Every structure is written in C-alpha cells, then in structure tokens.
Structure 1
C-alpha cells in the first residue's frame, strides 16, 4: 500500500481545510464579521501551500530544532505569515485573535488528517511532526511582524504627539516669561506666571525626552555633536537652573573650575537635568541632592548624583534604565507624585553611551541612591558628528 504524504493531503483537501478555518475565523469578533470570504481566506492558502512545500523538503536535525523555535531559514522576501499578520493588524485583530487563527488552522488540518488516517490508509507519521514545526515557524514570524508593526505605530504616534506639543508649549513659555518680567501686575499674578513658566519648561523637557525616545526606537540612535567643551561649566549651569525651579531643595555641586572634554554640551546638560531631576523627585525633601564632577587619574570623567530616600528595590535595579519603567515606591502615601513615564533615565543612558561612556546605579538605606556616569575625557562617542 502506497504512503500518502501529508503535503499531498493538504494540497488535495485545501478547500475543505480553508472552509473549516473560515468557519472558525467568523467566530472571532469583531473584525472577522466585517470581512468577506476572500478577505477571510487572504493568506491562509499561501501559508498552507508553503507548509506543504516545506514538508516535501529534506530536513536535518538542526533545521528541525530551529524551526520548532521559530528560527527556520528564510529568504529576504516577506513570508505569507508576515503579510497575514500585517493584514490582520489593519483589520483590527488583537494578538490573541491572530494566534487563535493558527490554532484553528492547525486543528483543521490535523482533524481532517486524523479522519483520513482512520480509514486504514498508510501514512508517514513523521509528517505530523514536520507539520507542527512548520506551523510554529509561521506563527513565530506572524507574531514577530505584528509586534514590530504595533511598536512602530506606537512610536510614530508618540513622535507626532511630541512634535505637535512643541508649539503650544513654546507659546506658554513665552507668555509666562513676559508676565514674569512685567512690573505693573500684582505679585500674586507674577507668582502664578512663574509657576506656569516652570511647569511649561518641565513639560518641554519631557517632550524633548519623548522625541529622543522615539528617535532611538526607530533605530537612528542618539545623535550628538561632540566638540571641545567645559563639562564643569555645563554642570554649574544645569544646577543653577534646577535651583531656580526648585528653590526649596538643597542642590550641592562639587566640581573643578574647568574640565575640558569632547562633549555635546546640550546632550550632557539634558543627561544631568534628567539625573538630578530624578534625584529631586525621589529624594527626601529635607536632604540634599549632591552632584560631583571628578576627572580621575586616567582618561575618564566621573559624574555622580546622590540623593537620600527610600532605597530602590534590588529586583528593580536591573531594569531601572529601561524605557517606560516607573520606579515609584508603591504603598507610600505620595506614590502618585513619585512616578513618571520612566523615559528620563533611559535617555540619560543613551546620551552616556553616545559619548562612549556608561552609567551605573547603586542604592541602599545607608548611603542613599547614587547614579555614576563615566565618560571618556578625549573621545566623542560612536555617534559623534
């Protein structure tokens, strides 16, 4: 009795398989109910034929393991499963619904195959394993493409939002600055204008961080324009600015008169503002925020920012520089005030890396939390212009 390969079975029964899969797809609400039969079957036929062709090819043990993990070889063109993921995303499918389609497609093939083999027909049992591996590969490709497109659309939204916020924020800064300088308004209005100005500047800083975040996630990296600059002077300017914004806080700076290095002054100021701002946000109000700039005996500059407050839990230290990670202390009465989007520390690390440096953090109850930035004294970093 001749063996019937699963590949041939799929090709011969593709319409029955697609109908069973289509019946399931119509149970996925809401998007499937708005699509016609052609749209529902969009790439399932191509995926099934690709699986059948794969089953006809010889396979080594290494190729089998890679495929079962979704790491099988592929060419540079988009696969049917990747195109399918893009179409489903545009149709409003969630990732859960997308995965359920593959489960239904797998079930449709195996149910029909099982019914066929029960009729005492000889088959190749290894085909079922090969089939599952091929479906796993297609599923991995589909999920990866879906996730990539979702992240891309999110980053595009954030970039557009941040860009469009710049103009109205600029108007608030200019208007409040004009009111602050006026001599013919009551003091209470001047105070309100000062608060508006400080808040708008803070929002502007957050918008800039958001733009940088989306830029790095689009793969462009953190651009810097490294030139000979005085890091000590930049540090003093940032500290004076933050003292103006936070007159109630003790912000102490220890730095030499001058520390010349190859730096992007604007980016270094942004990094320091983020680190010191973070220390102010999470430090205890009645304790100082201490900044030190030291040129060591080698070729490095070390900048430390220390504050005293609740220690960062050990399980959160490793991810503190990850984007969109909040390090607020849950359970504290002011936890709502001590949270943020978590972009500032991520941007600070990107700036340090762009200068060829690194940033580290240690935290404990006795010595507080200290961020340490190490920068090369004479190198502008990998993204220097």
Structure 2
C-alpha cells in the first residue's frame, strides 16, 4: 500500500498551491508585481517531487545521508533549483526563499492533520519522509541561489574592473604628459605627480579586482611562462617601489643572475604584492629583506619584515580573500588602498606556476613569506650571493 501522505498531496494539490500563493503574495516588494502564475512557479513540480520521494524505498544509510542534506541529486536540474533561480530573478532574498518552504511545510501538514481517518503509525513515517524531502529541496534551492548570487557578483566586479581601465588609462597618460611638458609650472607638476601616483594605485587595485574575479569565474589566473632572469625582474620591481614609499630600505640578497622559466609580469606582481605588504606592515627601523636563491630544480623567494607578529590563529587564513594581515599593525599604517586580496592573488600566482607559498611569523625573526616555484631548467646555477641595500623614496602627498 502506498504511503497515505503521497496520495494526499496529489489529491489536494490545488488547496496546497493556493496556500502557497497566499503566503507568497505577502512577501513584498517582489509579490507586488508578480502574477498568480509567477507566485505559484514550480510549486506544483516541487509537490509532485515530494510525493515521489515519500513513495521511494529508502535504506537506513540513505536516510542518514539525506538528514545531512546530502541526498542524491537526480538527472538534470531539480524543480527546487529552477525555483530558486526564478525567485532570485524576481528579487527574492534568500530569507524569503526559505520562508516559502517553511510555509509550504506548514500548509501540507496542517491540511493533512485535518484529514479524517489517518493512521498514527503511517502518519509518523510519512511525516518523517515528507520533512526529509522538504529539507532536501530547501538545500538544493539555497545552494543554487547562493551560487547564482556569487556568480552575478563576480561578473559585476569583472565588468566594472574591465570598464574602468580605459578612463583610468586616459588619466595616467594625461598626467604623464603634463609631468613631461617643458613649460609645466611647479604647482601643476606637483599636482600632476599626485594624479599620476593615485591613478597608478587605482590601476593596481583594479588589476587585483580583475584577477580576483577571474579566479572565481574561470580556471584561475593565466600564466605564460618564458625563459628569463628572475633577479632582473626583482630589481625592476624594487625600482618601481621607490616611487611609492618614503625613506624605506629594501635589502636584496640574490645572485647577479638567476635564469628560470616563469611569467615575468605575474612574478613581478607577486613580488610587488609581497614586498609592498612587508613595507606596509613592517617596522620603519628595520629593512625589508628579499632573498632569491636556487635549490635543485626550484627557485626560492623569501620576503621578510620585522613588523608585529601575526597571531598563530590567523596564519592559516592569511591567504584567504578579504583577510587583512595588519590588524595589529602600528597606528601609522594605513590600509585605505588595500582590498585585502593581495596575498590571495599572490597565492594564486604561485599555484599557477606549480609552486607553493607559506608564511612564518615570530618575535625573533619577524614575518617571512616563502615562495617555491619550479625552475624548469636542466642546468643548475651556483653563483655567489651579493647584498644590495636599496633606499626607496616617495614625494609626500
């Protein structure tokens, strides 16, 4: 004999759907502009799915899996997932979406309780299966809703970042032109310099934003590796950093040349992120130390600063997006130009090169970011290290 609740749902679809519609109509503002058909959207298919689920034999293991919200997903898109997408497009919040299932559960059980001739033993078994089916559908709806929201947010950020590049490029070019003009007055030159530096900072933020969204919308940060001198790339980055930091020292320990196969632009971005982070959170008294060495078929990059120690409970999440490492930094340290994704992007660049990145922080040695990437060259270079102390200057804003 089929479970009674499944037959009850099929025989009383209309009053159940009417109760669903009545509740959905109270959810404002979306319901104000929706038709009866839109308010009932997918509810009939969801109810039939409940009835089928109740009738389907279930093992103890299947019951346990379903209780964890991990029930098996059928072929194609479920009615609950389709409903979540439609509600999102209609302007429903996730709280409003969940409330519909709560109202649907209450409606079915209330009507069923008033149905004469029920069997207590059958009722309890059917009620359990029904609640499991509702929970499974709710899990599918919320998961699809969250996925679509995250995807739309990332797409918006990607489009925004892309569209901002052109007008920002115009600002950089215009400021550069004024700075190089022979007849520019000192006052205009000073203002053009500020504009140029601000535009370059904005350009970096937009670049980070685009990279962040790319890792969420696609396969990750793309790299195009070619043979090159890693030390030369590091020297170039240090020369650029001079423009943005006042009277700070960066100590570079590296061989005169270290050939490897890598994406030069991405490694420069990695070094800029790590060194910039070290300067931002490091002590003004001690230099930032950068070392580049080779070992076997790998290249090792270390960036050290003597700033505040990073608490051990924050180390594990330091490369997560939107996590700022400077919570305990000095009062003079500003984070206004940071999105909190620089270290996350650094990790993605390292992973794209097939490498690993880690961080260690203690009171004795300070904070050190260690990067290891494959060298991908058959010949091992063994060169004497040299130490170069580079002063870094920035005109005050």
Structure 1 length normalisation: TM-score? 0.92
- Paired position in structure 1 for 2:394: none
Farther-moved stretch of structure 1 (116-125 vs 260-269): 116-125
Write the mapping of 1:184-223 to structure 2, written as runs, cut at 5 A. 184-223=183-222
Q: Distance in 2 between matches of 1:76 and 1:284?
A: 58
Please state how far the C-alpha of 1:247 moved relative to its aligned partner.
4.0
> Helix, strand or coil for the counterpart of 1:363?
strand
Picking from 297, 300, 305, the partner of 1:299 is 297
Range 302-311 or range 157-166, more displaced: 302-311
**Higher RCO (Cα < 8 Å, 6 or more apart):** 2
Q: Please, which moves more after superposition, 109-118 or 329-338? A: 329-338
- Structure 2 residue aligned with 1:366: 364
- Structure 2's unaligned 5+ residue stretches are 378-397
Which piece of structure 1 moves more, 125-134 or 337-346? 337-346
> Which residue, 310, 314, 317 being the options, matches 2:315?
317
Q: What's 1:383 paired with?
A: none
Q: Report the CA distance between 1:61 and its aligned residue.
A: 1.9
Contact 2:280 2:333 in 1 (8 A): no
In the alignment, what sits opposite 2:139? 140
Q: CA deviation at 1:335?
A: 6.5
Partner of 2:242, secondary structure, is helix
Q: Deviations over 1:191-217 (max 9, x none)?
A: 322222222112112211111111110
Q: Does 1:52 align with 2:56?
A: no
Give the aligned CA root-mean-square deviation in angstroms.
2.1
**Number of residue equivalences:** 377
1:70 aligns to what? Answer: 69
Structure 1 residue 284: Cα displacement = 2.8
SS of the residue aligned with 2:6? helix
Deviation at 1:288, TM superposition (A): 1.7
Please state if 1:343 is matched with 2:351: no
Distance 1:4 1:172 in 2: 71
When residues 189 and 308 of structure 1 are mapped into structure 2, their CA distance, relative to the original with a 3 A threshold, is farther
Which stretch of the first structure deviates more once superposed, 199-208 or 178-187? 178-187
Give the Cα separation in 2 of the matches to 1:3 and 1:360. 59
Alignment CA distance shift 1:16-1:121 (3 Å): farther
CA contact (8 A) 1:361 1:371 kept: yes
Structure 1 unaligned spans of 5+? 380-385
Kept after mapping to 1: 8 A contact 2:309/2:362: yes
Counterpart of 2:60 in structure 1 is 61
Residue 314 to residue 61, structure 1, CA distance change in 2 (3 Å): same
Pair 335,273 (structure 1): closer, same or farther in 2 beyond 3 Å:
closer
Alignment map for 1:11-22 (pairs within 5 Å): 11-22=10-21
| Partner residue, 2:388 | none
Kept in 2, the 8 Å contact 1:327–1:339? The answer is no
1:347 CA drift (Å): 0.9
Give the structure 1 partner of residue 239 of structure 2: 240
CA drift of 1:79 comes to: 0.7
SS at match of 2:251: strand
Structure 2 distance, partners of 1:288, 1:117, is 83
Displacement, 1:118? 7.2
